Structure 1
Amino acid sequence: MANVSADMETIKSKFTGKWKLTKSEGLDDYLKSIDINFMARKMAATASVTLEVSVDGNTIRVVTNGPKNSTEECQLNQEADKKDPSGNDITAVVTFENGKMVTKTRPRNNSKAKEATVTREIIPGTGGKPDEMIMTVNNGVAEMTRYFAKQS
């Protein structure tokens, strides 16, 4: 059984802070795979995006600021009913595996959502460079990877 308290401390020390998007790979193909229209995909491709990750007790909070602002809260190893970026009903569970935060989602209520896995990992900065968060999203049809540099 995982030690949730120790995992939360590791998440708090590695993931908390403000992160700025520096690069995306596979974004357009991924957004097409979840039925995002052309104009919204083009806006997403050029948008400035920041994430703010915080930990309060057993709750992880990720605030996204960009073309579509959102706040997601979760607790490790507990399922929660959410909406995907297209507004479809999903069930999500966040785990901490091998130093990575992993979110697995599946459709609920017969929604059009696809199952997806979001993996966030931290690469420590070297030579004066800030830490980097690499976020990979895979829905079995397409995969995108987004890179964020730590701001604070």
Structure 2
Amino acid sequence: MDRMCFCTEPIGDIRCRALEKVLAAMTRPCTYVTYCCHQTVTYTERRRHEEACRYAPYHCPFEGCTYYGLLLYNHIQDLHASGSDDDEAAVVVRCNRRSAVTLEKTMPFRVLLHRDGASMFLLLNGGDVLAGRSLSLVCMGPRPTGTPR
């Protein structure tokens, strides 16, 4: 009975330049072609393009909501800002350029909808850190209207 043995020692970073060149030459349409992105990208640039693609749909940040699309501002305004659940509606704040916003310790985030009808931000509660509280502000839209990269 023959026994197979395998070496488990790492062999380091070995690159195959020929395969890298083949992959760099391959192109494909953007993953978001169904959302009107008609850009063709190389295999090696695909991830960078799709992370910044202005046609990439949004996931709704609310727990249990399955919305996935380009009109997140409208979705949140219509379903969550005036929603039937008082706790959920309290998470959405309509704001102007200067607005006071309160974020409680137990709240994971707050959605800020600007009155311009397009600008939307997530105020994320990162929790306690050594120096105090950790907060992040993330712009969720609108995406730039220039030519996608």
**Under a length normalisation based on structure 1, what TM-score does the superposition of the two structures give?**
0.26
Greater fraction of residues in strand: 1
**Under a length normalisation based on structure 2, what TM-score does the superposition of the two structures give?**
0.26
Greater fraction of residues in helix: 2
Give the number of the structure with larger relative contact order, counting CA–CA contacts within 8 Å between residues 6 or more apart.
1
User: Larger Rg: 1 or 2?
Assistant: 2
